[in-house]
Structure formats: C-alpha cells, structure tokens
Amino acid sequence: MSATHYIDGKWVSGAGDDCITVYNPALGEPFAELVAASPLQVDQAICVARKALKDWRDMSSARRAAYLRGFAEQIELRRESLITLQMENNGKPRQEAVVDIDDAVATFTYYAGLAERLDDEQNSDVPLAVTGFNSCTRVESIGVVGLIVPWNFPLVTSAWKLAPALAAGCTVVLKPSEITPLIEQTYGHIADVLGLPAGVLNIVGGKAETGAALSNHPGIDKLSFTGSNAVGSEVMRSSAKHCRPVTLELGGKSAILVFEDCDVDQAVEWIVSGICWNAGQMCSATSRLLVHDSIANELALGLKSAFEKLRMGNPLLVEIDMGPISSHAQWSKVRAYFDIALTEGLQCLTGGKLLDSPGWFVNPTIYVDVPLTSRLWTEEIFGPVLCTHRFSSEAEAVALANASHFGLVATVISADLVRAERVANALEVGHVWINSIQAVFVETSWGGTKGSGIGRELGPWGLSSYQSIKHVTRCLD
C-alpha cells in the first residue's frame, strides 16, 4: 500500500483505521488497496490549507488562471490512462469515460477564463441614491473549503468544485469517495508537475470517519458536498454548528414527459439515455416516465426492444452500451428494489433481475403503469430502472412531474415547442431539457430545488459560491 494522500504538497500513507479495497465492478474483483486518512491527517490538511490561504488568495487572478489552464492541459495529457481507470473502477463504457475526461478539461478551462478577469472586476463602483458617499464592491475568496465528492462521476464532480474554488482564491481539502479513490489522486500528481504552492490542494481519502472529520472540523469556511440525502443532512447539521455556508447537490427522482405529438423512435433514444447512462447511477436520471395515454403502448414496445438490445459486459474487453453497477452495495440496493417491485405486484415489461455473469450487472428494467404510491415511483433507486405512468392532459403531466420531494431536472419531449417551453417553465426543477439528451455545459448551472439540494454549481454561479462579497464605503466630505 503506497502513499495515497496528498497533504502540504507531499504524498503520505494513510494512518486511519479503515482499509479501502478498490474493485473492478465488471469482475467483482479487487485491484488496489489503501489505508484511509486519519482524523489527525484531516486536521493537518486543514491547517496547511489555512497556512497557504493568504498567499494563494493574494496571488494575481491571472496567475491562478494559469494554474487552472495547467490542470486542463495535464488532464488532457493523461487522457488514455484516465479513460482506462474510469472503465476499470466505475465500469463505464468507453464513450462515457471519454465524456467525463472532456468535461473535466472543459471545466478547468472555463474557470481559468473567469479567473483571468477577477482582478479587473474588483473595486467596481456601486451607484448610490444619496450624494456625499462612494462605495465599491470587492469579491474575495471565502477561505478554506472542504469538498466531498461521490463515486458515480469521479474526476468530473471534483472538477466542478475544485476549479471554481481555486479560481476564487480558496485553498482546498478534497475527500474522494472510498469506492473510487484513485482517479482523484490525479489532481495531486498534476499539482506536483505544475508546482502548485504547497497546501493549496490537499487530498484525503477514506470512509465515513474521514468525511466526518472534514465536515465537522471548525477550521473550514465552507463545505461543498455531492451525494445522498441522508449524508447531506448530516453535512448540513455539522455546518449549522459552525454557522458556515454549505452547497449540497443531493438526490433526484426526475421526470421525463412525453407528449402525443413526439417522434416515438426519437423519444425512445432520449428515454434510454436518460435512465441507462452510467447504468442509471445519476442523481439526474429521468426514472419517472410520464407518457400521454394515446402513445403509451407504442412507446412501451419501442422501449422494451431498445432495453433488450443494450450490450453489457467488461468495457476493457468488449464494446458495450451499459456497464455494471459500480459497487456491491449499490448492486444489492438495486436488487432489493426488484424484490420490492414483486411485493408491490408491479408489472415488469422487461428486466427486473440480475444479469447472470461475473461482476455487478443488472438488466435494464421497465415497470409500466406504476401506481403513484409505489416506492419505486417515489424513491431514488440509482440504477437502470424506469417506471412509467400515463397522463391525459398537459396540466396532469405537470402536476405529476412536480409531485415529488425532489426537484433536480426534467426532460420534455414534444413537437410543439411552444407547449414544451410552457411545460418547462412550469416544472419545479433546476434544469430542463427539451427534445434532447441530458447535455450538461459548464456555462450553465447545476443544482435543484426541494430535496435535491442547496446552491448551484457550474457557470458563474459555481464561482460565486466560493466567493465572499465585501463593500467599502467612504464619506467624500
């Protein structure tokens, strides 16, 4: 077990109580082990981040931007090895792993562009309604930030947090998921190559003990978390004790609304992508299909055929359309929902069972005409499980879509663009796609309403979440 944690510009071995085994989910076999960081090592990381804060915050924004561009360039140089690691540790099909790397590169490039302008935008005048005073605005680093990221999109989710935090002048302690701890170490290796000042970026891996040590620590000024609602509630509780800001990107149970005037074949493609990308392990998975009654049967037949044609297997060996579930625990959870469906008497159109092969595979699954009271309709499964329900009017479709404790995303499919935009405006979510795959751009925001979280990532909103506003006002007399 090698040195796998990055603290104060040095690689160190873990001193925690937990041993982390890293698996290839397509085989269900381990391929790496590491020892978690201890709470004392988390404390050390936060202390050195505090020590490094002033110089990094006071550095010209143009120099910080140059470091961010360096991260983008170095990720690109490591493209093939990172794609392979995503395939090996997450089980992602190659085409999905490629999108992940492109996303990380684009994120660092985008925030480098925003960082370059920060100094020029400082001390902007504020128009005042009274005379005799002058006031200007300063936008400053919020301080030392803790970042806790999940396993379903490693490297990507961390880029969404790390790039704007560094751009804003924050120093960082990053905690990767214990399921996918290896790819995030890339950031430490890049920091070494770029000569990033020691303490600006720290990476501490581990399980719940490590995460709790970070989220409960009084030495951080903000915490950003992406993950489950259960853990998000604990993170929010710990932040409340210290009265510090928190960004939470949590769960979803998103709807895809399909109207009677759609191209059914095209709708099938968008629906499959929305629930089977990353084997459905997405907070944004459109797992609730609301379909107009007049096309429900035709659409169901098209979906059944498409689901049953999806190729699954080890992405390192064969070309696949959908990979395995990324961990044994999540595989067991999906399996449990198959049992719940049987207990509830749901009508399974296809799937509903595990794949008879090595590794943690499940068949992509469709349940039709699912009651609104079903646990599969209301609870986030985080797997390739689609539930359908019929509607007869636009108003009914919108009401059904909004009847959820979550509010992350939605998709609207209709040939009537006026109607599609009207529906999009009525949906209580953070992002809506119209006649599209779930295309996510760094320039747009990411985040939701209701139980889907607090705050926004990406775009200028992602940067502002790591900034503090100061006004300087003086009397002119």
The catalytic residues are 249, 283
Phi then psi dihedrals of residue 143, to 5 deg: 125, -140
Question: Using an 8 Å Cβ cutoff, are 86 and 99 in contact?
Answer: no
Q: Which residues contact 77 (CB under 8 A, 6 or more apart)?
A: none
Question: Using an 8 Å Cβ cutoff, are 254 and 408 in contact?
Answer: yes
Cβ-based neighbour number of residue 472 at 10 Å: 11
Question: Using an 8 Å Cβ cutoff, are 448 and 407 in contact?
Answer: yes
- The one-letter amino acid code at 183 reads I
Tell me the C-alpha distance between 409 and 237, whole Å. 25
CA-based nearest residue to 287, from 179, 171, 178, 381: 381
Question: Using an 8 Å Cβ cutoff, are 454 and 246 in contact?
Answer: yes
Q: Are strands 449-450 and 406-407 parallel, antiparallel or unpaired?
A: antiparallel
Tell me the C-alpha distance between 379 and 376, whole Å. 6
Question: Using an 8 Å Cβ cutoff, are 74 and 84 in contact?
Answer: no
H/E stretch holding 365 reads strand 365-368
